[in-house]
């Protein structure tokens, strides 16, 4: 038809069709950074809160939180979708759809917050906490069929437990706590998150990688050369700020003038590595590996904004014979960590991506290396600032998923002091018993 605007010249232009264009926001192709985690398990986080007077009853609180969750998913929409695979064997993986997250309500009204959040949290409390978080034992591969986010609200005697399970193929720790803080903001009445997520995976890596997926989690686990997983126990060791400062000072005491000082993370990491190696009673020639899952947002060239929503982590490894690790001074271990982390620059990140894309692999925990101590999470995550409108959490913990022998999660100290660090550690039972009796480790931890 012709455009009639009163101008005879316009009759020369004919409109042949109209359409409405909307952004294709619901489809996100998983980047190379995401794919190694498809055979890990849902990342589980547990936040324990007291409910003060005036907060409302459990149903009122959970209704507000569920409403805010729906609002948060509008911004963090990959968590509302499902993982899909392009047609054909070995197709690329992507997130699509708006099916939503799963929300569960439960009750444990005979259990108090202190029973779970206290310093004397024993084996029974540890087992109970695992019932407060959904999707235990669920591999990220299940995101092809299950929600990518599951939340469980559990009514406690004097509070609420908020258990969350996130599909690790979709996001890392930085993105997890970005989402959690944004959800809490909306629950407190904010019109929008103060920091909006960036969903453009091409900012990190634009290469499309196909994977041949296993038929099931069980089928993949059967291919682990180390066999079935061994029983583990988890404990939390609290290091107040003065103790962290003393560990850091000891690691830096013998450094020559002009040498780069060790950070609190490097010093504490070296202390944990040495202590766990003693508890394992390793022989002098036994190799032990330290791995840290490093955030690569600032390491890329150009850097990627902190609000990038996805996985942007890589494991950085360093290994040494146990005799050298334990026979040397603390600065030896701290120096190895400093060197490995410092050398993981943009070129090293790119080499790792190139290697993976040339030969994609489905990982097992044993790929972390022998006698491993692996650090995930970070004391820099502001986990105790996640306030849904009724105060800070009394304790933040990780669930049983992705806890292999030597896995460590670091959190800021629950007391609120700026330099304190809580160490959540999983070990086999006998080494854990020895660690709990290690005077050198406990004197430092308890001082």
The phi-psi region of residue 152 (left if phi > 0; otherwise alpha if psi is between -120 and 50; otherwise beta) is: beta
Q: What's the CA gap between 32 and 15, in Å, rounded?
A: 44
DSSP string, 234-272: EEEEEE-HHHHHHHHHHHHTTPPTTPPPPPHHHHHHHHH
Tell me which of 286, 367, 387, 438 is the catalytic residue. 387
Strands of 302-349, DSSP E: 313-321
Q: Which residues fall within 8 angstroms of residue 353, CB to CB, at 6 or more apart?
A: 32, 33, 205, 207
| Closest C-alpha to 437, from 125, 238, 446, 126 | 446
Q: Which residue has the tokens 């909306």?
A: 186
Q: Are 99 and 87 in contact (CB under 8 A)?
A: no
Q: Are 381 and 179 in contact (CB under 8 A)?
A: no
| Closest C-alpha to 275, from 302, 315, 316, 235 | 235
Identify whether 168 is a catalytic site residue.
yes
DSSP string, 384-438: GG--SSS---SEEEE-STT--TTEEEEEE-TT--TT-EEEEEEE-HHHHHHHHT-
- CB count, 10 Å around CB of 131? 15
- CB count, 10 Å around CB of 184? 21
Q: Which residue has the tokens 């005979």?
A: 110
Question: What are phi and psi for residue 431, nearest 5 degrees?
Answer: -60, -35
| Pairing mode of beta strands 407-412, 395-398 | unpaired
Identify whether 387 is a catalytic site residue.
yes
DSSP string, 269-291: HHHHHHHHHHHTT--TT-EEEEE
Tell me which of 168, 220, 271, 344 is the catalytic residue. 168
Q: What's the CA gap between 332 and 190, in Å, rounded?
A: 48
The catalytic site residues sit at: 168, 387
């Amino acid at each position: 038809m012709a455009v009639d605007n009163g101008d005879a010249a316009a009759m020369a232009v004919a409109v042949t069709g109209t359409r409405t264009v909307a952004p294709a926001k619901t489809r996100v192709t998983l980047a190379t950074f995401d794919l190694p985690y498809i055979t890990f398990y849902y990342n589980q986080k547990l936040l324990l809160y007291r409910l003060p007077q005036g907060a409302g009853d459990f149903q009122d609180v959970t209704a507000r939180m569920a409403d805010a969750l729906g609002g948060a998913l509008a911004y963090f929409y990959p968590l509302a979708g499902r993982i899909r695979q392009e047609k054909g064997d070995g197709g690329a993986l992507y997130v699509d759809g708006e099916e939503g997250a799963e929300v569960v309500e439960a009750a444990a009204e005979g259990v108090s917050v202190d029973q779970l959040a206290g310093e004397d949290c024993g084996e029974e409390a540890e087992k109970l906490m695992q019932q407060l978080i959904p999707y235990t034992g669920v591999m990220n591969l299940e995101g092809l069929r299950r929600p990518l986010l599951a939340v469980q609200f559990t009514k406690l005697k004097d509070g609420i437990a908020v258990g969350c399970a996130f599909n690790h193929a979709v996001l890392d720790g930085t993105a997890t706590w970005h989402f959690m803080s944004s959800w809490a903001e909306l629950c407190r009445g904010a019109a929008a998150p103060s920091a909006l997520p960036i969903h453009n995976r091409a900012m990190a890596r634009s290469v499309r990688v196909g994977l041949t997926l296993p038929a099931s989690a069980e089928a993949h686990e059967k291919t682990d050369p180390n066999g079935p997983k061994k029983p583990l126990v988890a404990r939390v060791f609290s290091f107040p700020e003065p103790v962290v400062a003393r560990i850091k000072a000891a690691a830096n005491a013998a450094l020559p003038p002009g040498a780069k000082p060790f950070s609190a993370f490097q010093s504490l990491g070296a202390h944990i590595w040495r202590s766990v190696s003693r508890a394992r009673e390793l022989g002098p020639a036994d190799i032990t590996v330290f791995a840290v899952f490093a955030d690569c947002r600032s390491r890329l060239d150009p850097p990627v904004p902190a609000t990038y929503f996805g996985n942007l982590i890589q494991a950085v490894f360093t290994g040494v014979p146990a005799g050298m690790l334990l026979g040397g001074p603390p600065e030896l271990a701290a120096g190895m960590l400093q060197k490995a982390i410092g050398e993981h620059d943009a070129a090293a990140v790119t080499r790792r991506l190139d290697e993976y894309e040339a030969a994609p692999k489905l990982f097992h925990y044993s790929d972390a290396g022998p006698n491993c101590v692996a650090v995930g999470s970070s004391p820099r995550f502001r986990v105790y600032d996640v306030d849904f409108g009724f105060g800070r959490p009394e304790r933040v913990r990780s669930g049983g998923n992705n806890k292999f022998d030597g896995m460590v999660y670091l959190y800021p100290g629950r007391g609120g002091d700026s330099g304190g660090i809580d160490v959540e550690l999983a070990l086999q039972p006998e080494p854990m018993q020895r660690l709990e009796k290690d005077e050198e480790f406990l004197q430092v931890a308890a001082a």
